[in-house]
Structure 1
Amino acid sequence: MVHFSGIIEKWRNGIHLFIHIQVICDADLIFINIIARWPGSVHDARILRESALFRAFESPRKPLNGVFLGDRGYMLRDWLMTPILHPATQRERNYNFAHSSTRTTVERSIGVAKRRWHCLRTGLRLEPAKACQVITVCLMLHNRATRLRLDPPDSDDEEEEDDDTDEEDEGEHPDHEIDPRERARRNAGHAVRQRLMNEYF
């Protein structure tokens, strides 16, 4: 399983311009997909929708088997599992707990990367385009260090990431005014999520 999240970085001259970074990591804290180019005001789901990864997984022949985990700011798909907005049964609560517990992996990976590269914590005094390049390279170097099993620097004040959002799961919106193809994809996601709950929770 892999996970979605975001990192926010600062710009210079006392003006805080936010860059929204969307990452996917695996269970070994390796970043396997990085999108670093969107301003902080852009919704998570739009960043995903505009990505090559989204187009690949929306195609009939998906590039790999398995599912991604994303917070409730993302759309539900048969390849992207999101939390249940209002869990009503113990099975749904168990699913949400497992989903949240597993998704903390991406928070840990971001925390480790920030410990390795102090500039990811303090902000970058660079133009936004150059800052995005530096962030991407830092995350690539984090991957290399992780594969070499290098310990990250110790830090007493390590920040914890919170990638959850107050926005509703796109899959929970009412059916009216939804494109029929979008409704079909959302329904396929509901079916996969229900099957996972039935089999494992």
Structure 2
Amino acid sequence: MKSSAHRIMHRVTAAISSLSRQLIELTTMLEEITDAQVDFNAIASFPRVISALDCHDSSIFQNSRLRARLEAGTVGDGIILADGGCALKLYLITSLQNHQNDAERLLNESQIRTRNTVERTFGVWKRRFPCLATGMRFLVDHVLLMIVAIAVLHHKARRRLSE
């Protein structure tokens, strides 16, 4: 039997995460995708990047609208940079394990510098929401909802700080 605190926590998490469609928007407009690509390209000259992924987050990605859109081909030529633990896809690339020449070394360097920007954001989240750093002992479905709820809370906190 689940405790009242457990049931309340799940209800609150579901209520907060339900706000995500209003507050957090993954763009489908090609112009905005192109803007994201330009922004990522400015970091380390890595073209076509729209996002980055740590493979610890792969179960979240597998259940995301972004993955569904990439699989359907509705985000243009966008790609995601991932760490070495992820399986390659047409839209998901990792660094080269054993670079053979300067061009491959520069490719890896650029990929890592671009991904580091997103990794720093994960660090901000982990400081703001320590449960992300220490781990959550819940079923994957519950963790997915909690991460969406955390994204909503992070978005609201950033908006409040910018006001």
Q: TM-score range by the shorter chain?
A: 0.5 to 0.7
Report SS of the residue matched to 1:87: coil
SS of corresponding position for 2:85: coil
Structure 2 unaligned spans of 5+: 1-49
Task: Flag the 1:66–1:112 CA change in 2: closer, same or farther, 3 A.
Answer: same
The alignment's TM-score, normalised by the length of structure 2, stands at 0.54
Distance 1:58 1:116 in 2: 32
Q: Matches of residues 166-181 of structure 1 in structure 2 within 5 Å?
A: none
Pairing 1:57–2:70 present: yes
**Hey, what's the Cα distance between the residues in 2 that align with 1:51 and 1:130?**
14
Q: Could you report, residue by residue, the CA deviation over 1:113-153 in whole angstroms, capped at 9, with x for unpaired residues?
A: 111123333445x6435444333311221123234446xxx
Q: For 2:155, which of 101, 123, 143 is the aligned residue?
A: 143
Task: Give the length in aligned residue pairs.
Answer: 112
- For 1:180-191, what aligned pairs fall within 5 Å after superposition? none
Percent sequence identity over matched residues?
Answer: 30
Provide the secondary structure at the position in 1 that maps to 2:54: strand
Alpha carbon RMSD of aligned pairs, Å? 2.9
Separation (CA, whole Å) in 1 of partners of 2:88 and 2:143: 31
Q: TM-score, normalised by structure 1?
A: 0.45
Q: Which has the higher helix share?
A: 2
Mapped to 1, the partners of 2:69 and 2:149 lie a distance apart of 24
1:71 Cα shift? 1.5
Does the 8 A contact of 1:69 with 1:103 survive in 2?
yes
2:54 — aligned with what? 5
**Residues 79-127 of structure 1: per-residue CA shift (max 9 Å, x gap):** 2222112111101100101101111122211110111123333445x64
